[in-house]
Amino acid sequence: MEEIKTLIIDDEKNILESVKMVLNYENYQVETTNNGMDGIALFKKNRYDIVLLDVKMPGFGGLDVLKNLKELNPFSEIIMISGHSGIEEAVEAAKLGAFDFLEKPLSRDKLLLTVRNAAEKVILLKENYNLKTISEKKYRLIGESQAMEKLRQNIKKVARTNSTVLITGESGTGKELIARNIHNLSLRNKNKFVQVNCAAIPEELIESELFGHEKGSFTGAYEKKIGKFDNAHKGSIFLDEVGDLSTKAQAKVLRVLEEGEIQRVGSAEMKKVDVRVIAATNKDLKKEIKKGTFREDLYFRLNVVPIHSPCLVERRDDIPLLIEHFLVYFSEENNYKRKKISKPAMDLFRQYDWKGNVRELRNIVERLLIMSEGDTIAEYDLPDSMKITKEENAFSFTNIKSWKDFKFQSERLFLEEKLKEYNYNIAKTAREINIPRSNLYKKIEYSGIIIPDNLEADEGSPHSEE
C-alpha cells in the first residue's frame, strides 16, 4: 500500500499509544499529539492523509479542529473518536466532512477496517487528482500571443452553451485541444467526450461506427454494437476531419442534428440522444460545397459557431513557451533529464516555416530530447531542414546596385517561393497570385527559374502542352 501519513489527536495517553501501536504494526506512518492546537500546527506542516481525532478535548474541541483541518485540506479523511458520543455530535461531524465516527473503547478490528477504508479513498482521490493533472497538462492550450488570447475568449464564450461548433484550421494546429477545452469548460464535462476521426473510418462502416448496429444486421455483425453518438449521450462528440465524411454519412449526421435522434443499422426504432456536436476540418468547406462533395445544409448546421485555430506562423512568439511545455511534458512522461535550448537553436525554431504546425514542433522537440547529447540542445542537433541560413532565407542587399536589380531579385524570390508552395503548378500559382498564366510563363523564363525535372506534368505545368 502507498505510504499513508496518519495523525492521532487525543488527550488520553493510553489511546495515543495503543492506536499508534496497532497502526504501526500495519505499516502506517503515525504521529501523535494530545491537544487540538498542536494538531492543527502539525497538520499545516505535514498535511496528513488520515487524522484520528478525539471529540472531547480540553480547550479547542474536536469539532472545531475538524472544521479547521477540512478547510486546510478537504481531501484528508478525518475519523472522529469519542467515549461518550451522541447523535447530535455524529450528525454535526458528518456535516463537517468526517469520514466515520468510532466509539471508545476502540475495537481493534473496527479501527483497522475504518482506517483501511479511509486509506483506500485517499489513494483513489490522489490517483484521480494525478490523472486529472496529467490530462490538464496534455490538453492545455499553450501560448500568450494575441491569437491565442482571442481563441481562449472564444472558447469561454461558446463552452457554456449547447451550440454546435465548427473548428477550422490547418492540420496540426490543435483542433482536438480546442474541442476538449470546449467540453471541459461546458456543463457536460462530467460526461463523456467521444472523438471520431471521420477520415479514418471506411465509408461502409461509418454508419455502424457512428450510430451502432443490431446483431445480424449485416455480414460480420455478430453482436449488437453501441454507436459513438449513443456513447456520447449527455456529453460531447468531436467529429474530426468532418469534411471527409461521405455524402451518405453526411445525410445521417444531418438528421441527428435536426431531429436529435439516431437509428441503429438493422433497427426500425428511432432513439433520442442528447449530444453536443463539435466538428473540425482543415478543408475549405465552401469550396467542397461548390464541388458537390459536401452538403450545404449540413455546413450551416455545423457552422453555428465558427472557431479558427491559428497556424504556428501566426503565433511565433508562442514557440519558446510551446518548446518549454513539450520539454517538461516529455521529460516527466519518459523520466528523462530536463534539457535546455541554446539561443541559436531557439532562433532557428522561431524562423522555421512550420508547415506541420504545433504537431511538427512537438515531434521535433520529443526527438531532440531523446537523440541529442548533453544537457543543452544546440543548433547542430536540429534537423537539416531547419538549418536555413539567412542567405538562403532571404536575398542579400549587398550585391544590389540599383532599383532595377532590387525589383528583379525580389520578384524572382517571390515567384520561386510561390511555385514551391503550389508544387510548380503554373495554373494554380497564377490563380493564387492573381496574374495571367501567360505572364507567369514569361516571368519564369525571364527570371531563369528552373522547374524540377522530376515533377509530373499536370494541367498548367510548364511541362504540359497548352
- HSE-up (13 A, CA, CB side) for residue 26: 20
Count of other CB atoms within 10 angstroms of residue 112: 15
Query: Three-state SS across 268-330?
Result: CCCEECCCEEEEEECCCHHHHHHHCCCCHHHHHHHCCEEEECCCHHHHHHHHHHHHHHHHHHH
Question: In the chain, what are the domain boundaries?
Answer: 5-135, 149-308, 315-391, 395-447
> What pLDDT sits at residue 131?
65
Does CATH place domain 149-308 in 3.30.559.10?
Answer: no
| pLDDT above 70 (res 162) | yes
Q: What is the mean pLDDT of residues 431-440?
A: 90
Distance from C-alpha of 275 to C-alpha of 194, rounded to nearest angstrom: 10
Domains 5-135 and 149-308 share a fold: yes
Mean pLDDT of 219-235: 85
What does the pLDDT average to over 306-313?
A: 94
Identify the CATH class of 395-447.
mainly alpha
What length does the chain have? 466
For 311-350, how does the pLDDT look when each residue is reduced to its tens digit (9 = 90+)?
A: 998 899 999 999 999 998 889 888 888 899 999 899 899 9
Domain 5-135 has CATH 3.40.50.2300: yes
Between the CA of residue 68 and those of 41, 48, 56, 85, 110, what are the distances in Å? 11, 13, 16, 20, 26
Residues linked to residue 78 through DSSP beta bridges, in sequence order = 51
Identify the pLDDT of residue 137.
66
d(CA 326, CA 172): 15
Question: Amino acid letter at 67?
Answer: K
Q: Which fold has domain 315-391?
A: Helicase, Ruva Protein; domain 3 (1.10.8)
Q: Tell me, what DSSP letter sits at residue 339? A: -
Kindly state the average pLDDT of the residues 165-184. 94
What is the pairing mode between strands 77-82 and 100-103?
parallel
Please report the DSSP string for 152-221 in residue order.
Answer: HHHHHHHHTS---EEEE--TTS-HHHHHHHHHHTSTTTTS-EEEEEGGGS-HHHHHHHHHEE-TTSSTT-
Look up the pTM and report it: 0.60
60-99: pLDDT as tens digits: 888 889 999 988 988 899 999 887 656 777 788 888 889 9
Distances from the Cα of 155 to the Cα of 34, 163, 182, 361, angstroms: 52, 12, 6, 23
